[in-house]
Each structure stands twice: as structure tokens, then as C-alpha cells.
């Protein structure tokens, strides 16, 4: 006996397939008719202006209609990008003194309107300082109301602080009288973005992680460097042969060991693509992902040291030491030889540049009968724009010039020759006016604002 398939089964199968296809078409039409919605908003640290915000929508948008969004205060700004990823860039040269209110509007390419969404954004950094006390030194963060919050226990001496480039933490290197060095990392949760004004605030403290605790005399030095992706490079040098270690700790706390030999401190490039390695023959630029970057090393011979990165342009400031004891400041532009912008016999105590590398600052110290620190502002061609004496103040030992594009200010620590401790100093980037705070400090750095909002949902659901 032969079994034959029922003719109803193929018809039933074809009917189910047709129904599913029809359902898919209906769903597609419903989705096409839904208005777009906001997918995510994130602070973008790699910027050429005063501040930047990356905005991602559910579908490609008409950028001209998004540009109609309101920004309060009404600062000069522009919208960049295309498709569903756009960037709000606040123009440089206009200090931001408080939170910003962004009222997002716009239409997608089918002229369907976005439901208005308000985002509050505070791009201002927080001030970090190593504060001296009777028991030693402590890393502290200044809150918006002016109070100071400890970030780590008191250490006998703090040699370096390194804020993570995305604002999610700060590392420190400490030392004691028995040559025991420690490397600590305080994790932070930023509150610089919110859908409500009340949601903005100071960072919340996360865990305090000990990355390294050297036994007595086991470490010769420790150095930290971070990029704007939030990665942290930890470089340790020991007394014993082959005891040096270098690793990068990623945002997920994963450690990646690097097999490198350096003659000085390593520096991560701001964009996260490489690092600068000092060697006995000069400086080398190494890619972090050789398979993606072609694996090419770039070398710059001569006795040079990195003083600052102009983070929005790929430029950097180097100090070169000449055999006749003169020093020069060089502006390094990608794919071009270093450009000398200053040459002299004075010591270059610190240097900084804005994000585009168009404005440069340096502090010079003449080793004469009357030691005086002088602050210069140069343009990218080396022409002197402004000059001012710091008067009775001098840069404290180990101090940097840390530039903040949001407020257009430089941060450093200054000290009078007869004083026991330094003071935090804020310098206007355009006028070079000096404001010395009452707060005693040993070191000071900016902690950049960071964070993202991803809790938006489809309003039609």
C-alpha cells in the first residue's frame, strides 16, 4: 500500500508562510511610520571646541532640522556628522560657567518628527588636588559647592596623580620613608548628564583599587598615563634585573601586558591609538594595535621630552635639550617635522596647548641672581602674544600646566620661596590673569566630565 501526502498540507504550509510574510510587511510599515527617538547621548572628550556631545538617534536624521534644537545658555555651536550619529560642538573661546540645557528636536529622512527631549549637561571638569596635612598628603576632589572630598586615605607622600581621560577615575602613585611605593585607582561614577536638572551632581565614589604595592625598596619608580578612552598605563621600574613591568588597564579592568623597554616615562596618546616611548636615541611613537595600524614605528632623534598633548588635533609640545645647554619648545604636527616655536637658555618649567594647538603657553625660569617665573602665550608660529611675570610666585616642584577648554583656564600649583606649601592657581587662557586660591596643595589636575545616557526608549511603545 502506498501512502500519499494530503494536498491540504502544502496549502497549509504556503498559507502560514504567506501570513508570516504579510505580518513582516505590516510590522515594517508600522516601524517606518513610527517617529524617530533618541537612542543615546554621550560626552565626547576628543573635541576641537570648548565641549562636545555625541547624540545617537534610532534612524538617520536630517541634520538641518536637528540644528534647530535649543541650547541654553545660547552659546555658539554647530552640529556635525550624518545618518543617525550627530555631534554637538560648542565653539571654543566662550567659557562655560554652568550646566547647559539641550532641547532636542529634528526630523528623520522621511520627515517624521522626533518627540522633543530635554537633556541637561554639565561639561565643566572637577578640580583634583593633593592636599598636605599634619599626617602626610591626601588626594581630594573639590565639589561644586566648594567643599573638598577625600578620594583616598592619607599617604606619606604622593608623587603623581593621573585622572582617567573619560572621567571615570583617578590614579595615584605614593611613597613612604621606607621606599614602599603604591599605585592606587579610585573609581568614580560621573553625574554630568541627566534628563533632569536635579540629576546633575558631583561624581559618586566607587571602589578604591590597589594596582601595585611594592615591598620596601622593590620599586625604583612608578608612572601612570591615561588616554581619553579611560585606559590607564601603569609603568613600574624595579631595582632587580628584568623586574620592569608595563601594562594597560582597560575600562573593563582587563590588563594587557606590554613588552617594552624605555629610558623614561611612557605617555599614552589621547586618542588611544598609540604611545610615546622615550629611548636613549630620542622618542618613538608606537601603535597599540600593530595589526590595524600597520605596525610602523616612528622615531624622532634628539634629547626631547613630551610636555603636553593638544588633544583635539593630534599635535604635541616637546622640549628639546641642546648640547650648548639651551632649550627649545617644539610644536609637533602629524606628518610634518617638529616646528621650533621658542629657543632660549631659560628652563621650561611647564607647557600647555589648547585642543587645536593654536595657542601655546609655557612657564620659563631664569637661573639668575633673581629667580623669576614668567608665563608666555604664543601662537602656533611661535609669535609671542602675551607675557606676564608670576611675581612672588613660582611653579611648585613637579607642577604641570593643565588646560581646560571648557573654562579656558590653566591649572597649576604655585609657591612662594619662603612658604611651606604651594597654592592652587587658575590662569585665564586669553588674558593670563592669575587667581591664587587659599587651598594649600602639592599637585593639581583637572578631572574631565564624562558619562553617557542610554535609558531612552521608543515613545510609541
SS3 content of the chain, % helix, strand, coil (to 5): 10, 50, 45
For the residues 268-293, what does the mean pLDDT come to? 84
Is 117's pLDDT higher than 70?
yes
Residue 280 — very low, low, confident or very high, per pLDDT cuts 50/70/90? confident
**Beta strands in 354-390, from DSSP E residues, in sequence order:** 359-366, 372-379, 384-389
Compute the distance between CA of residue 89 and CA of residue 356 in angstroms, rounded to an integer.
14
Read off the pLDDT of residues 45-78 as tens digits, 9 standing for 90 and up: 877 789 999 999 999 999 999 999 999 999 999 9
Backbone angles phi, psi at 390, to 5 degrees: -80, 5
The stretch 106-126 carries a mean pLDDT of 95
Cis peptide before 73 (omega within 30 of 0): yes
Of 208-222, 260-274, 412-426, 434-448, the least confident: 208-222
26 vs 93 pLDDT, higher one:
93
Lowest model confidence (mean pLDDT) among 238-242, 322-326, 350-354, 448-452:
238-242
- Mean of pLDDT values over 295-306: 85
Answer for the pair 139, 441: CB distance below 8 angstroms, yes or no: no
Residue 18: its pLDDT value, please? 60
Segment 118-146 shows an average pLDDT of 96
Which pLDDT score is estimated for 362? 97
Note the pLDDT tens digit of each residue in 147-195: 999 999 999 999 999 999 999 999 999 988 777 788 999 999 999 999 9
Residues 87, 42: Cα–Cα separation, whole Å: 10
The reported pLDDT for the residue numbered 424 is: 98
Q: What is residue 32's DSSP assignment?
A: H
- Percent of residues, the chain, with pLDDT higher than 90: 70
- What count of other Cβ atoms lies within 10 Å of the Cβ of residue 294? 8
What is the torsion angle, in degrees rounded to the nearest 10, for the CA atoms of residue 102, residue 201, residue 124 and residue 170?
-130
Q: How many residues does the chain have?
A: 461
Mean pLDDT score, 130-153: 96
Residue 413 DSSP SS3: strand
Residue pair 166/156 in contact (Cβ under 8 Å)? The answer is no
Predicted confidence (pLDDT) per residue in 200-253, tens digit: 999 999 999 999 876 556 677 899 999 999 999 999 987 777 778 899 998 777
Q: In the 8-state DSSP scheme, what is residue 108?
A: B
Number of Cβ within a 10 Å radius of residue 199 = 12
Mean pLDDT, range 413-421, rounded to an integer:
92
pLDDT exceeds 80 at position 16 = no
Neighbours of 376 (CB within 10 A): 20
Contact by Cβ (8 Å): 126, 202: yes
Mean model confidence pLDDT for the chain: 89
Contact 360, 379 (CB under 8 A): yes
249 CB-near residues (< 8 Å, 6+ apart): 185, 211, 231, 232, 233, 234, 255, 256
Q: Are 61 and 36 in contact (CB under 8 A)?
A: yes
Res. 1 pLDDT band, cuts 50 70 90 = very low
Grid cell in block for residue 451 = 558619562
> Phi, psi (5° rounding) for residue 76?
-65, 130
Could you please report the per-residue DSSP string of 420-441? SSEEEEEEETTT--EEEEEEEE
User: End-to-end distance of the chain based on CA atoms, in angstroms?
Assistant: 57
- The residue-averaged pLDDT of 410-419 equals 94
Q: What is the pLDDT of residue 311?
A: 84
- How large is the average pLDDT for residues 376-386? 97
Query: Residue range 241-268: average pLDDT?
Result: 87
CA angle 191/192/196 to nearest 5° reads 85
- Cα dihedral 271/272/273/277 (nearest 10): 110
Distance CA 147, CA 367 (A): 38
Runs of H (alpha helix) within 172-281: none
pLDDT bin (cut points 50, 70, 90) of residue 26 is very low
d(CA 296, CA 282): 16
Do the bridges between strand 315-321 and strand 304-310 make them parallel or antiparallel, or are there none, so unpaired? antiparallel
pLDDT digits (tens, 9 = 90+) for 325-343: 999 999 999 889 999 999 9
18 three-class SS: helix
Torsion angle in degrees (nearest 10) through CA of 427, 444, 48, 44: -140
> Which is more confident, 27 or 249?
249
β-bridge pairing 157-163 and 339-344: unpaired
What 3-state class would DSSP assign to 173? strand
Amino acid at each position: 500500500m502506498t501512502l500519499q501526502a494530503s494536498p491540504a498540507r502544502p496549502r497549509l504550509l504556503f498559507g502560514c508562510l504567506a501570513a508570516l510574510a504579510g505580518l513582516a510587511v505590516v510590522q515594517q510599515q508600522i516601524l517606518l511610520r513610527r517617529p524617530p527617538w533618541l537612542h543615546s547621548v554621550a560626552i565626547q572628550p576628543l573635541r576641537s571646541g570648548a565641549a562636545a556631545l555625541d547624540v545617537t538617534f534610532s534612524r538617520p536624521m536630517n541634520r538641518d532640522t536637528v540644528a534647530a534644537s535649543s541650547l541654553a545658555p545660547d552659546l555658539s555651536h554647530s552640529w556635525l556628522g550624518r545618518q543617525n550619529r550627530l555631534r554637538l560642538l560648542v565653539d571654543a573661546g566662550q567659557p562655560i560657567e554652568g550646566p547647559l540645557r539641550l532641547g532636542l528636536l529634528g526630523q528623520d529622512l522621511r520627515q517624521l518628527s522626533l518627540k522633543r527631549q530635554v537633556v541637561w549637561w554639565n561639561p565643566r571638569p572637577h578640580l583634583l588636588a593633593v592636599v598636605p596635612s599634619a599626617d602626610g598628603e591626601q588626594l581630594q576632589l573639590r565639589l561644586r559647592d566648594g567643599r573638598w572630598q577625600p578620594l583616598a586615605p592619607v599617604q606619606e607622600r604622593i608623587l603623581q596623580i593621573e585622572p582617567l581621560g573619560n572621567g571615570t577615575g583617578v590614579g595615584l602613585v605614593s611613597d613612604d620613608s621606607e621606599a614602599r611605593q603604591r599605585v592606587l585607582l579610585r573609581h568614580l561614577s560621573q553625574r554630568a548628564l541627566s534628563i533632569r536638572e536635579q540629576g546633575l551632581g558631583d561624581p559618586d565614589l566607587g571602589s578604591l583599587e590597589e594596582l601595585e604595592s611594592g615591598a620596601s625598596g622593590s620599586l625604583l619608580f612608578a608612572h601612570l598615563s591615561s588616554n581619553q578612552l579611560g585606559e590607564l598605563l601603569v609603568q613600574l621600574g624595579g631595582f632587580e634585573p628584568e623586574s620592569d613591568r608595563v601594562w594597560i588597564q582597560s575600562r573593563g579592568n582587563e590588563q594587557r601586558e606590554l613588552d617594552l623597554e624605555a629610558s623614561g616615562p611612557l605617555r599614552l596618546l589621547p586618542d588611544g591609538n598609540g604611545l610615546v616611548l622615550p629611548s636613549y636615541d630620542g622618542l618613538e611613537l608606537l601603535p597599540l594595535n600593530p595589526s590595524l595600524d600597520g605596525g610602523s614605528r616612528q622615531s624622532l632623534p634628539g634629547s626631547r621630552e613630551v610636555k603636553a598633548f593638544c588633544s583635539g588635533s593630534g599635535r604635541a609640545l616637546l622640549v628639546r635639550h641642546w648640547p650648548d645647554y639651551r632649550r627649545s619648545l617644539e610644536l609637533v604636527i602629524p606628518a610634518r617635522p617638529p616646528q621650533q616655536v621658542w629657543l632660549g637658555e631659560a628652563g621650561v618649567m611647564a607647557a600647555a596647548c589648547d585642543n587645536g594647538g593654536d595657542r601655546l603657553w609655557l612657564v620659563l625660569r631664569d637661573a639668575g641672581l633673581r629667580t623669576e617665573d614668567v608665563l608666555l602665550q604664543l601662537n602656533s608660529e611661535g609669535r609671542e602674544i602675551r607675557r606676564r611675570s608670576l611675581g612672588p610666585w613660582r611653579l611648585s616642584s613637579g607642577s604641570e600646566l593643565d588646560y581646560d577648554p571648557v573654562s579656558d583656564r590653566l591649572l597649576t600649583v604655585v609657591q612662594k620661596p619662603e612658604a611651606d606649601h604651594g597654592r592652587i592657581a587658575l590662569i585665564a587662557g586669553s588674558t593670563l590673569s592669575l587667581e591664587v586660591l587659599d587651598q594649600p596643595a602639592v599637585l593639581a589636575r583637572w578631572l574631565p566630565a564624562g558619562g553617557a545616557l542610554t535609558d531612552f526608549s521608543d515613545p510609541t511603545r
